[in-house]
Structure 1
Amino acid sequence: MAMPEICSSKGCGNAATWAVLWNNPKIHTPDRRKTWLACDEHKATLSDFLDRRGFLRDVEPFTGSDA
């Protein structure tokens, strides 16, 4: 049985329910998307952190990886 993916917030061990998609336009091509996973509690703080830097591209529900 696979372990659930957890939130990317430092020290959080909650299961991820959101995918926070971002890129740094200084180093990534416009179509590149990096992903941070977030629980309900940290969705806003992770999104806000990236948005303040101009990196946030999208936030979508996370249902698990295909791997």
Structure 2
Amino acid sequence: MTEERRTCSRAGCRQQASTAIDWRNPRIHTGDRSKTWLACEEHVPFLTDFLRARAFPLQVRPVEPVR
């Protein structure tokens, strides 16, 4: 069986993601709706800093294994 590859959401990055960043823009998303970006180890700080600079609520968690 082939394991699904989850790729980092950073533009141009093709590395495997290890972290999920769940976030929402409170001006356009209700509290029950969020988006998820995936990040490799290198790009977690870049992506979270980008979202925090805009004061978007976010949660950082490990990527769950594919079932």
Provide the C-alpha distance between the structure 1 equivalents of 2:10 and 2:65, rounded to a whole number of angstroms: 17
Match runs of 1:1-67 below 5 Å: 1-66=2-67
Structure 1 residue runs of 4+, over 2 Å off? 63-66
Q: How many residues align?
A: 66
Q: Structure 1, unaligned stretches of length 5 or more?
A: none
Q: Secondary structure at the match of 1:50?
A: helix
For 1:33 and 1:42, the matched residues in 2 are separated by: 20
Q: Using structure 1 for the length normalisation, give the TM-score.
A: 0.87
Give unpaired runs (5+ residues) of structure 2: none
Question: TM-score scaled to structure 2, two decimals?
Answer: 0.87
Percent identity of the aligned residues? Answer: 45
